[in-house]
Amino acid sequence: MSQGLGTILVTGANSGIGFEIARQLAARGAAVIMACRDAEAGIEAAERIRDEFEDAVVELRQVDLSSPASIRACALRLARDGRSLDVQVNNAGIHATAWRPSPEGLESTFATNVLGYHVATREFLPLLEAGAAARGGRRARIVNVASTYVQAPDLDDAQFRARPFDGSAAYRESKAADRMLTRAWSRRLVERGVDVNSMAPGLVMTRIFRETGLFTGLMVRLAHLVRGRTVQQGADTALWLAVDAQAEGLSGGFFQRRLPTECEFTDQAREERLFALCEELAGTGSPVA
């Protein structure tokens, strides 16, 4: 099994669920590209995996998922190095406590959690298609780490420019948007040999929730005492969607504990509106059909 996993890119792989996904993939024999914003933390995380698994193949690529320019630069470097991908796990995310701009001047939560997923999918797609072709047409996979801590996104003000900023609302809207983008991308990629699914890890006390405001942090901690999950449990469904034979050919779904789950935000018109918004903000000038 391990020989067939190929090369897998994991964003936000230096901590939390992203680190656990990268760690377990490396343990199974995948070549793991850890795409991290913080180079120092990424180097330390990669060394931890190498120390634990002496045959682990892991490398660090510095990329800021809140910046389309940074994502494009990373994709270009990989392409120039002759690399291809078999799986991409979009995991990096933030839970901001105040409105702050991304490098391109967008609201940072939306820029990282939504637009970052969109642009990463867009820019790494040629590498995924190359990976599928190199493996005899076996389908490539994209896994979007979403959540059940969600609310319907306001597509008229996705960046909280007209309404007061609420960090929890911004995070919850971004995670619902990730589910919506998953279906929009799945419709476009089904004929291109790439499957796209989203999943919810459950309530895992990672750094993303430790950095919330006092009230939200307290509520999350109390909820975790009742229904919390370990980081290993949280990573399981993402790993299953990424590499398990039973997940071959699945696309456009939202999963919890390896089970398909109905998504209350399923609405093709709104999904396409969100997709168009991301295309506009990505500033590519070359729409995806």
Per the DSSP assignment, residues forming a β-bridge with 7 are 31
φ, ψ dihedrals at 211, nearest 5° = -100, 10
Read off the tokens for 87.
């799986």
Exposed, middle or buried: residue 44 (CB in 10 Å: 0-12, 13-18, 19+)? middle
E strands in 171-247: 194-200
In sequence order, what are the residues at sequence separation of 6 or more whose Cβ sits closer than 8 angstroms to the Cβ of residue 215? none
- Label the pairing between strands 259-260 and 254-256: antiparallel
Annotated catalytic residues are 171
E strands in 173-288: 194-200, 254-256, 259-260
H/E element holding 276?
A: helix 268-282
Structural contact between residues 87 and 8, judged by C-beta atoms closer than 8 angstroms? yes
Per the DSSP assignment, residues forming a β-bridge with 199 are 145, 255
Read off the tokens for 126.
């040629």
